[in-house]
Amino acid sequence: MKKEITVTVNGEAITHTVPLRLLLVDFIRDECGLTGTHVGCTYEGRCGACTVQVDGRALKSCMKLAVQADGKEVTTVEGLAREDRLHNLQKAFSRYHALQCGYCTGGILMNAVDFLNENINPSEDEVRRALVGNLCRCTGYSHIVEAILAASAMRHGLKPVPPPAETEPAP
């Protein structure tokens, strides 16, 4: 069986007739052509690479059916940048070297945006707890945590701790 759905993806209303069992991650990748949302754990909801925002809340799109997003707003990592300007978190990830292979980055960014919307001035421990559902096999998380803390500081007009490459050398 199939159903026609309309989902607003990154500000654009998209209407498709989809199988009832089609996962949201597959709708985003295959029907919308947005490949920044990844499937990393073969649809088990363990890695967080498929994290998107639905109506402003982060969720793992491999655990949601596309028909459940009918009438909702979905934001993917491609939708973070506005008018060719990177989101503050994207800037911080670049500046703080918070990515390597990039496979997990989209999901981590989408989770971090939601987290920072709820946590105005998070501690390092709070950031680390927020990342529990996002697996990264390359970075060791330190730079990711630094980038999220820096983005939070910048958002509130505070000066973030400089990235390691910008710190002054020891005498």
> Which residues contact residue 35 at a Cβ distance below 8 angstroms, ignoring those fewer than 6 apart?
29
Q: Which residues of 92-128 are buried (b: 16+ CB within 10 A; e: fewer)?
A: bbebbbbbeeebbbbbbbbbbbbbbeeeeebeeeebe
Sign of CA dihedral 94, 81, 72, 155: positive
Report yes or no: 66 and 18 within 8 Å, Cβ to Cβ: yes
Please give the Cα distance from 3 to 102 (Å, whole number).
Answer: 34
Structural domain boundaries of the chain? 2-79, 88-160
Q: For residue 133, what are its two tokens?
A: 């559902």
Q: Is this structure's pTM higher than 0.85?
A: yes
**Burial bucket for residue 11 (CB in 10 Å: 0-12, 13-18, 19+):** exposed
Q: Which CATH architecture best describes the domain 2-79?
A: Roll (3.10)
Q: For residue 114, what are its two tokens?
A: 């939601």
pLDDT in tens, the chain (171 residues): 999 999 999 999 999 999 999 999 999 999 999 999 999 998 899 999 999 999 999 999 999 999 999 999 999 999 999 888 999 999 999 999 998 999 999 999 999 999 999 998 999 999 999 999 999 988 889 999 999 999 999 887 777 777 766 555 555
The answer to whether domain 2-79 and domain 88-160 are alike in fold is no
Q: For residue 158, what are its two tokens?
A: 């505070």
Fold exhibited by the domain 88-160? DNA polymerase; domain 1 (1.10.150)
Report yes or no: 95 and 7 within 8 Å, Cβ to Cβ: no
